[in-house]
């Protein structure tokens, strides 16, 4: 029987762990390929708007020459990309404090990274996971070339040179934002202190909650005041008869004290009787 001449459609390569293998090719004429592993981001504990569970693709083994802009262009063929985040290792997207300028941001480690690709549509996740393994994603094209080698190092050196006027603008902008945040924090604390201020009779103003329920407003100052009051109450209170031997010793001391008072009363009564006795001579 002659073999069939029909060509089988290439399918996606899925490995244990639920990862789909995507092939990267640096240029169209490059013979070497690199494998990037992707799967849908499903961390239930992380419920943030930056990484929606149904629109975020988690990728590992991203090569060092791929920046966030390059990764965004590569995955744009599966659908519109909203944002791309590259990290040294997986972790939460929580960020506290203001975003620092590039002049004060520590240099990132040069190595393979993990990425979070957020699409506009949930259907893009399925399109990326069903991409054939033998169809590589080309990184550097004629329309969008990617620099490597000496040219990349020269550009990085030029970008590392800091212009004094630009740096001064960044510093001034950061200090203005810092002063504004400090003023807002002081105003917030002052407002909370006024709300929690007790009058001469010990009454505290009660505000109405978001659902129309009257409740005492919870604030950091109120919590500290309550903790200080509880600490003082705990210091004044003594633990009496906490253990069995303490209770037994207390009873013995109480009985001994009663016996001592009884003997003293007997002596006092005997003395009173002797003083009241009639003596004619």
Q: What is the CATH number of the domain that holds 90?
A: 3.30.70.330
Pairing relationship of beta strands 137-138 and 19-25 according to DSSP bridges: parallel
With a threshold of 0.85, does the pTM exceed it? no
Residue 207 lies in a domain: no
For residues 232 and 192, membership in a common domain is answered with: yes
**Domain-ending residue, one of 160, 185, 204:** 160
Residue 7 lies in a domain: no
Asked if 66 and 144 touch (Cβ cutoff 8 Å), the reply is no
Domain span at residue 230?
Answer: 177-196+218-237
Residue 213 lies in a domain: no
The domain total for the chain is: 3
pLDDT score for 264: 92
For residues 57 and 124, membership in a common domain is answered with: yes
For residues 229 and 247, membership in a common domain is answered with: no
For residues 120 and 182, membership in a common domain is answered with: no
In a structure prediction context, what are the per-residue pLDDT tens digits for the chain, which is 281 residues long?
Answer: 344 444 445 677 888 888 889 988 888 888 888 888 999 888 766 666 688 888 899 999 998 888 888 899 989 989 999 999 888 888 766 555 566 666 666 666 678 889 999 998 889 988 888 888 888 888 888 777 777 778 877 877 887 777 888 888 888 888 888 888 899 988 888 887 776 665 555 566 655 555 544 455 555 666 777 787 887 777 666 555 566 777 788 888 999 999 999 999 999 888 888 877 666 65
Is 217 in a helix, a strand, or coil? coil
DSSP letter (8 states) at residue 110: -
Residue 6 lies in a domain: no
For residues 104 and 151, membership in a common domain is answered with: yes
pLDDT score for 6: 41
Q: What Rg, from alpha-carbon coordinates, does the chain have?
A: 39
For residues 148 and 188, membership in a common domain is answered with: no
Q: Give bridge partners of residue 57 from the DSSP assignment.
A: 40, 117
Residue 94 lies in a domain: yes
For residues 52 and 146, membership in a common domain is answered with: yes
Residue 111 lies in a domain: yes
For residues 25 and 140, membership in a common domain is answered with: yes
For residues 127 and 184, membership in a common domain is answered with: no
pLDDT score for 199: 52
Q: How many C-alpha atoms does 147 have within 13 Å on its Cβ side? A: 7
pLDDT score for 4: 42
For residues 124 and 152, membership in a common domain is answered with: yes
Residue 1 lies in a domain: no
């Amino acid at each position: 029987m002659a073999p069939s001449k029909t060509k089988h459609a290439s399918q996606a390569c899925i490995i244990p762990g639920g990862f789909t293998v995507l092939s990267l090719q640096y240029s169209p004429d490059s013979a070497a390929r690199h494998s990037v592993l992707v799967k849908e981001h499903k961390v239930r504990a992380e419920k943030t708007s930056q990484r929606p569970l149904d629109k975020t693709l988690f990728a590992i083994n991203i090569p060092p020459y791929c920046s966030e802009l390059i990764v965004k262009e590569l995955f744009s063929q599966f659908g519109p990309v909203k944002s791309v985040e590259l990290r040294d290792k997986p972790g939460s997207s929580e960020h506290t404090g203001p975003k620092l300028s590039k002049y004060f941001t520590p240099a990132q480690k040069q190595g393979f990274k993990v990425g979070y690709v957020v699409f506009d549509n949930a259907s893009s996740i399925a399109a990326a996971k069903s991409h054939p393994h033998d169809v590589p994603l080309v990184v550097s094209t004629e329309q969008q070339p990617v620099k490597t080698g000496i040219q990349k190092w020269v550009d990085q050196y030029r970008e590392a040179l800091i212009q004094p006027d630009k740096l001064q603008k960044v510093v001034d902008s950061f200090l203005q934002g810092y002063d504004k945040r400090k003023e807002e924090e002081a105003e917030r604390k002052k407002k909370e202190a006024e709300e929690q201020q007790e009058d001469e009779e010990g009454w505290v103003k009660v505000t109405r909650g978001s659902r129309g329920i009257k409740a005492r407003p919870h604030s950091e100052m109120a919590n500290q005041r309550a903790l200080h009051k509880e600490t003082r109450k705990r210091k004044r209170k003594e633990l009496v008869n906490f253990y069995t031997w303490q209770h037994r010793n207390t009873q013995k001391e109480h009985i001994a004290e009663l016996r001592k008072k009884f003997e003293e009363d007997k002596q006092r009564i005997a003395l009173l009787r002797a003083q009241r006795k009639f003596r004619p001579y």
